[in-house]
Structure 1
């Protein structure tokens, strides 16, 4: 048990770095990690998604507060998009609790593949452009869609909001910053519903795994903001896609 906890703490440090750099809140790190730990147990993927959501609540909240204090958040890209994301998160989480474990696993991997290919093959993500405001359809239907997909897969909003804001012309550093507050409503809704679900007093959330991951991620988030050097915009975008590839390999292996 102790070696497993040590591994979770170490990987929690990695999720802290990805929270700072990409606004992930830990989802793409914690889902494969917890799934590996729970592999062979009942509802392993549901436990991974529920635990990931719980970790993201804390990580995304901490990062959001830090970004707010630094003045890095841009309200026009956050509201009312966050409200529609929250609405979609309720639908996505309820659907995920009813979905077979194998389906969650398959769709998680499939979405990673689609996102990676889209970032590489379609123009706009790797090179960016001039910032443009979000349209009404993107804010409403797009926000609901983000909430549904992100909560269903347990990856927070960053998997969809970073590519969306990137294609709206925001630099990667700003797109990643916006992803943290936009991940927070997904994480809160998903955690609440998974805690109330079957599986024991904490539902489908593995409290021990979540605590170990947070023991690594929270100090890392606190220190990484001042220690990580600025990354060139294109290299930042490439690194985002490389992390998605690593997550895909982890969840498949």
Structure 2
């Protein structure tokens, strides 16, 4: 039954990858914590590792099928991608050493803070004073490269791809939700590649004696395969026929999904 649930969640992961640039992290982590709840507190380590691998595939595929004219908006960001990767490597190593419960509640806390930020601070749901609506902005600003290392470190530590930080940042830099979420995928790929590499070669697999026996390093391979089987066809379909979502509705949908994820992670405590 859990494989069927994982396939269903994979469909949702594909939708969030295209619509919100999540790459799967914020949906994958809670469901893998649930699927591997028998591991106790170590389920969070396995969930973040599995999430990293899922995001590599989802974000890589989504980036490959994104129009080049959209990806061109990343020009001018300097060494942003390499700095994201360096930060992600450090964050993934830190996650291996930190107490298992710390990442769980840090995940919840960060999502709650992000929801408060986008609701209260102008630039995401509403323009800042003097700015035109997002649909009318014609000269978006590059995302500052210095954000790369801290964003990559936090994202890899929590098992997410960084979109919860990069999408609001790109909104405030002048991008519409459609462009901001599309650009989140190559940024997620830069974060998830080094994080997944660290997780796959980890020698501290917490469930070597567990009956599931499905771990490679810290990655739950069965869960990853089921999630990807559901996600990839959805990404291919929606990239070919992208949904037309009004910018404001799109932004509120992003906030709503963050709220759902925060509630899910609060309820699902291994």
- Output one character per residue of 1:66-109: Cα deviation in whole Å (capped at 9) or x when no partner: 014x5321232654211111111111111111111110111000
- Output one character per residue of 1:144-200: Cα deviation in whole Å (capped at 9) or x when no partner: 111011111011021111011011110000000110000001111111001111215
Report the Cα offset of residue 132 of structure 1.
3.8
CA contact (8 A) 1:78 1:178 kept: no
Structure 1 CA distance for aligned equivalents of residues 165 and 27 of structure 2:
16
| Runs of at least 4 residues off by over 4 Å | none
Report the Cα offset of residue 134 of structure 1.
3.2
| Structure with greater helix percent | 1
| Shift in CA distance, 223/78, structure 1 to aligned 2, threshold 3 Å | farther
| Shift in CA distance, 78/23, structure 1 to aligned 2, threshold 3 Å | farther
Structure 2 CA distance for aligned equivalents of residues 150 and 90 of structure 1:
10
Structure 2 residue runs of 5 or longer lacking an equivalent are 128-133, 209-214
Q: 1:231 aligns to what SS in structure 2?
A: coil
Larger radius of gyration: 2
Count, aligned residues: 247
Structure 2 CA distance for aligned equivalents of residues 53 and 144 of structure 1:
17
2:181 alignment partner, one of 176, 185, 197 = 176
Length-normalised TM-score, structure 2: 0.88
Report the Cα offset of residue 249 of structure 1.
1.1
Q: CA RMSD in A?
A: 1.5
Structure 1 residue runs of 5 or longer lacking an equivalent are none
CA contact (8 A) 2:17 2:58 kept: yes
Confirm whether residue 239 of structure 1 aligns to residue 253 of structure 2: yes
Structure 2 CA distance for aligned equivalents of residues 79 and 234 of structure 1:
30
Structure 1 CA distance for aligned equivalents of residues 157 and 13 of structure 2:
20
Report the Cα offset of residue 127 of structure 1.
2.5
Length-normalised TM-score, structure 1: 0.93
Report the Cα offset of residue 227 of structure 1.
4.1
Structure 1 range deviating more: 80-89 or 170-179: 80-89
